[in-house]
């Protein structure tokens, strides 16, 4: 857990400092307000108690299970290719119907629904700079997606997006957009100097592609206290959420769709070749964005764990009870809390393999680190199992899926089909898998 959290927390703090946030006092108040909002949602759902999740600290008495022999799956997994009424999905047309059924379950019970009238976004260019990134000449645009707040002027919401494209490209370029942080330039330079490897941005520029950083917390805070603000608060005119209203992951995914709208208007970019990437909670967001936004061409889903690519019906690593706690419930619809009491993960109408299946037939690269370095909180095996169980949907659509049923050794890239899986040698990072993902994406983008 420590190994997982420290790099991510450093990044969050850096981003926080850049925005002047996260004093001790502010954190206390965020936690208190999140707790209150969580309690209110529980009260409205009629839940008086919920089961606590296990600890991510392996030395704690209630440590999460890390032993594969005890990782019982709760029951049979729901079949993506069987309708709720028991009929089989046999054709591509059937799949379209089944897909709506699955989306309805994910909307109502897991991630929440997009509101009907989300206010529109107008993209503004804040700055354009021709410079270089490492040895690559690049044009960097700072963009702001200003959300129309005429229905609730008390809240200002804007999406922060940075786009870097090769200088003078001969034709529109593919772009990989990462959910990430907007670090101060000096910090970025230091990171680049310290690193022996080229950054992910340089690796993309070396391909002749562009990179983008979408800053999720610019338009929806990463806590329950912020649910009456940001885009969720604006769409709700400052009121608290209803049971099936969207959670933060869905809001972040909405931001990715708006960034795509911008790319469609920028001549430097080929909007039919946009990929989405993210790590950890941003890996969850990247998978949700892939599932709900058909214009995204490829996904690079890093260490997304529970609430992302890991099967929820598995007693290993992080559990539904953790996700439903005041620290993380905001990522989901209020209804999701019910699965930590009185319901169980077994009662969920859907599981992670079906979320991956919603991306079909588009390619998805599922990435994780080595258990010895990253820990098992993210449940590498649970993500691999979900990937295998999504395969039949890809096959129905004429693709291969993962094309493997045996967990690969560290460093082996299973990337024959439209679902790829690779466990790299490092910890909680996308880092060592970037070259493998780019090689994989090039198969689709450089045709």
Among 54, 224, 226, 305, indicate the residue that binds ligand GCU (CB under 6 A).
305
DSSP track, 198-258: PPHHHHHHHTT-EEEEEEGGGTS-SSGGGGGSHHHHHHTTTPPPPTTB--HHHHHHHHHHH
The DSSP letter of residue 327 is: T
CA angle (339 as vertex; 334, 343 as ends), nearest 5? 130
80 versus 308: smaller Cβ distance to ligand GCU: 308
**Six-digit token pair at 241?**
């959420």
Among 3, 8, 81, 113, indicate the residue that binds ligand GCU (CB under 6 A).
8
Residue 322 near ligand GCU by CB under 6 A = yes
161 versus 323: smaller Cβ distance to ligand GCU: 323
Segment interacting with ligand GCU, rule: CB under 6 A, options 115-123, 190-198, 302-310, 416-424:
302-310
- Binding residues among 241-300 for ligand GCU as defined by CB under 6 A: 280-281
Among 177, 289, 306, 320, indicate the residue that binds ligand GCU (CB under 6 A).
306
List the one residue out of 376, 306, 309, 383 whose CA is nearest residue 57. 376
Residue 4 near ligand GCU by CB under 6 A = yes
Least separation, in Å, of the C-beta of 5 and ligand GCU?
A: 6
Least separation, in Å, of the C-beta of 427 and ligand GCU?
A: 12
Q: Pattern 86-125, binding to ligand GCU, x per CB under 6 A? A: ----------------------------------------
Cα gap 417→363, rounded to integer Å: 8
Exposed/middle/buried for residue 151 (C-beta within 10 Å: 0-12, 13-18, 19+): exposed
Least separation, in Å, of the C-beta of 186 and ligand GCU?
A: 25
Residue 16 near ligand GCU by CB under 6 A = no
**By rule CB under 6 A, what count of residues binds ligand GCU?**
11
- Binding residues among 342-401 for ligand GCU as defined by CB under 6 A: 377
CA distances from 388 to 1, 31, 366, 379, 393 (A): 26, 38, 11, 15, 10
- Binding residues among 175-204 for ligand GCU as defined by CB under 6 A: none
The DSSP letter of residue 407 is: P
Among 107, 245, 293, 318, indicate the residue that binds ligand GCU (CB under 6 A).
318
Cis peptide, bond prior to residue 413, ω within 30 of zero? no
Which residues have a Cβ under 8 Å from the Cβ of 84 and sit 6 or more positions away? 101, 349
Cβ atoms 113, 133 nearer than 8 A: no
Residue 217 near ligand GCU by CB under 6 A = no
Q: Which residues bind ligand GCU (CB under 6 A)?
A: 4-5, 8, 280-281, 305-307, 318, 322, 377
């Amino acid at each position: 857990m420590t190994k997982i959290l420290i790099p991510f927390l450093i990044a969050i703090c850096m981003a926080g400092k850049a925005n002047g946030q996260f004093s001790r006092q502010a954190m206390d108040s965020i936690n208190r307000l999140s707790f209150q909002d969580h309690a209110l949602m529980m009260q409205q759902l009629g839940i008086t108690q919920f089961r606590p999740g296990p600890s991510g600290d392996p030395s704690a008495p209630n440590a999460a299970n890390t032993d594969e022999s005890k990782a019982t799956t709760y029951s049979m997994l729901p079949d993506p290719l069987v309708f709720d009424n028991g009929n089989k999905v046999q054709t591509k047309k059937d799949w379209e119907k089944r897909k709506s059924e699955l989306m309805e379950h994910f909307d109502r019970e897991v991630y929440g629904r997009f509101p009907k009238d989300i206010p529109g976004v107008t993209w503004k260019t804040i700055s354009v700079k021709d410079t270089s990134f490492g040895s690559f000449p690049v044009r960097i645009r700072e963009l702001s997606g200003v959300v129309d707040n005429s229905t609730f002027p008390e809240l200002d919401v804007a999406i922060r997006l940075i786009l870097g494209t090769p200088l003078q490209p001969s034709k529109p370029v593919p772009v990989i957009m990462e959910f990430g942080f907007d670090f101060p330039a000096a910090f970025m330079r230091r990171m680049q100097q310290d690193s022996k490897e080229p950054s992910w941005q340089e690796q993309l520029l070396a391909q002749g592609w562009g990179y983008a950083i979408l800053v999720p917390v610019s338009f929806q805070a990463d806590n329950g206290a912020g649910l009456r603000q940001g885009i969720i608060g604006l769409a709700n005119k400052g009121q608290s959420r209803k049971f099936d209203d969207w959670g933060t992951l869905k809001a972040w995914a909405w931001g990715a769709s708006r960034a795509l709208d911008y790319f469609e208007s920028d001549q430097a970019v080929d909007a039919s070749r946009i990929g989405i990437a993210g790590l950890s909670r941003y890996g969850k967001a990247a998978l949700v964005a892939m599932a709900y936004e058909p214009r995204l061409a490829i996904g690079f889903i890093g260490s997304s764990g529970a609430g992302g690519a890991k099967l929820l019906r598995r007693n290993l690593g992080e559990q539904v009870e953790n996700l439903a706690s005041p620290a993380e419930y905001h990522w989901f619809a209020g209804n999701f809390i019910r699965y930590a009491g009185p319901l169980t993960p077994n009662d969920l109408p859907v599981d992670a393999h079906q979320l991956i299946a919603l991306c079909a037939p588009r390619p998805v690269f599922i990435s994780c680190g080595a258990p010895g370095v990253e820990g098992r909180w993210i449940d590498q095996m649970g993500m691999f199992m979900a990937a295998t169980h999504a395969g039949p949907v890809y096959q129905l659509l004429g693709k291969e899926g993962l094309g493997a049923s045996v967990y690969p050794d560290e460093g082996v890239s299973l990337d024959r089909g439209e679902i790829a899986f690779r466990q790299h040698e490092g910890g909680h990072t996308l880092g060592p898998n970037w070259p493998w993902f780019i090689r994989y994406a090039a198969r689709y983008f450089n045709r």
